[in-house]
A = this chain, B = another copy of it.
Amino acid sequence: MTEAGGGKERLLRAAVEYVAANGVGERSLRQIAAALGTSHRMLIYHFGSKEGLFVEVVRAMEERQRELLAELTAAEDDPIDAARRFWARLADPALWPHERLFFELYGRALQGDPAALPLLDGIVDTWVTALVGPLEKAGTAPDAARAQARLGLAVARGLLLDLLATGDRAGVDAAMEEFTRMYAATLPPR
Chain A residues at the B interface, C-beta cutoff of 8 Å:
22-26, 100-101, 103-113, 120, 123-125, 143-144, 146-148, 150-151, 153-159, 161-162, 164-166, 168, 171-172, 174-179, 181-183, 185-186
Specify which chain B residues have a CB less than 8 angstroms from the CB of A124 in the assembled complex: 162, 165-166, 168
Does B147 lie within 8 Å of A151, measured CB to CB?
no
Provide a sorted-by-A list of 6 A–B residue pairs whose CB atoms are within 8 angstroms: A25-B111, A151-B155, A154-B154, A157-B158, A182-B185, A185-B186
Copies per assembly: 2
Candidates B107, B159, B183; contact of A106 at CB < 8 Å:
B107
Nearest CB of chain B from residue A124's CB, rounded to whole Å: 5
Candidates B104, B120, B168, B183; contact of A165 at CB < 8 Å:
B120
Residue of B nearest to A99 (CB): B110
Nearest CB of chain B from residue A118's CB, rounded to whole Å: 12
Known interface pairs A124-B162, A175-B147; A111-B154 also in contact (CB < 8 Å): no
Question: Of residues A24, A111, A157, which shows the largest number of chain B Cβ atoms within 10 Å of its Cβ?
Answer: A111
Q: How distant is the Cα of A25 from the Cα of B164 in the complex, in angstroms?
A: 21
Question: Of residues A22, A144, A157, which shows the largest number of chain B Cβ atoms within 10 Å of its Cβ?
Answer: A157
Residue of B nearest to A23 (CB): B111
